[in-house]
A = this chain, B = another copy of it.
Amino acid sequence: MKSVLFTAVGVLAITATFAQGRTDFPMKPEMTEIWDPEISVVTPGATPQDAPADAIVLFDGKVIASEWTNDAGAEPGWKVADGCVTVVKGSGVIKTKRQFNDFQLHIEWRTPAEVVGESQGRGNSGIFLQGLYELQVLDNYNNRTYRNGQAGSFYKQYPPLVNVCKGPGVWQVYDVIYTAPRFNANGTYFTPPTVTVLQNGVLVQNHVALRGPTEYIGIPEYFEKPHGAGPIILQDHGNPVSYRNIWIREL
């Protein structure tokens, strides 16, 4: 990068006043090269949506029971067909057998093509990170609801930056970068969970700091019990929402 940088920022550099290092002891370029340890190689997927080599594929479109259970630890009651898994009303959540801390998650979802209900009643499901923090799944295409409860929100904590929903029956994508909380000895957060989310390639959550586990009622800020790794949980809210191409990378 050496040859052109100085031209590029030349105008700024002329007017800038730097805190001066000692000009009588100049550094050499090599002094700021760090060679070890070597960075690990990971083979990327064919497209950014495809799982890279170091990802755990949580659902490849065919088998759900290898990586997921229902809430009682038994085989999920959801329906697998046509390369996706779909909520069966009343069967309850499904959750990963594995537990995760910090991770990058890719997940694709589709609300029903047949539009039924309104506000929170239309195409409602949700993705609980570490089993506690809900990234809302909802059909918000021409369907108004409260801003902190719509698709792309962390339910009742952070509304999405924009409503970038595709329509009913169309596949959508969440890419999630999640950093788990660290705890103080007394059970409060030392650092809260932080999350960045892209929906259909568009930023909807920009490194937000969650307040506490998702609460339907009340203020979610007063968690007094540390938690460790947790599963990904997909919610049965009674609507036949579908999921596919779910992969995760532990960070």
Q: Is A3 an interface residue (CB 8 A)?
A: yes
A33 near B196: Cβ-Cβ < 8 Å: no
Q: A66 at interface (Cβ–Cβ under 8 A)?
A: no
A29 touching B164, Cβ below 8 Å: no
Q: A155 near B1 (CB under 8 angstroms)?
A: yes
- Determine whether A116 belongs to the interface, using a CB cutoff of 8 Å to chain B: no
The one of B6, B17, B104 that contacts A203, using a Cβ cutoff of 8 Å: B104
Q: Residues 119-158 of chain A: 1 if any B CB is under 8 Å from the residue's CB, otherwise 0?
A: 0100010101001101010000000101111100001100
Contact A31 B22 (CB under 8 A): yes
User: Of B15, B21, B136, which contacts A34 at CB under 8 A?
Assistant: B21
Query: How many chain A residues touch B (Cβ–Cβ < 8 Å)?
Result: 114
A95→B214 CA distance, assembly (Å): 40
> Which of A35, A207, A213 has the largest count of B CB atoms less than 10 A from its CB?
A35
A201 touches B52 (CB 8 A): yes
> Contacting A225 at CB < 8 Å: which of B17, B50, B106?
B17
What's the least CB distance linking A139 to chain B, in Å?
13
Establish whether residues B235 and A159, one from each chain, have CB atoms under 8 Å apart when the complex forms: no
Kindly identify, within residues 36 to 92 of chain A, every residue whose CB is under 8 Å from any CB belonging to chain B. 36-45, 47-50, 52, 54, 71, 92
Is A219 in the interface zone, CB < 8 Å from B? yes
- 7 other A-B residue contacts (CB within 8 Å) besides A5-B216, A21-B219, A182-B190: A17-B187, A27-B27, A33-B146, A34-B222, A41-B162, A44-B201, A182-B182
Complex A-B, nearest 7 residue pairs according to Cβ-Cβ distance, in ascending order: A48-B201, A44-B200, A19-B222, A33-B146, A16-B225, A25-B30, A42-B162
For this complex, 8 residue pairs linking A to B, each with C-beta atoms less than 8 Å apart, are: A4-B92, A5-B235, A15-B225, A17-B224, A27-B218, A32-B219, A41-B163, A175-B201
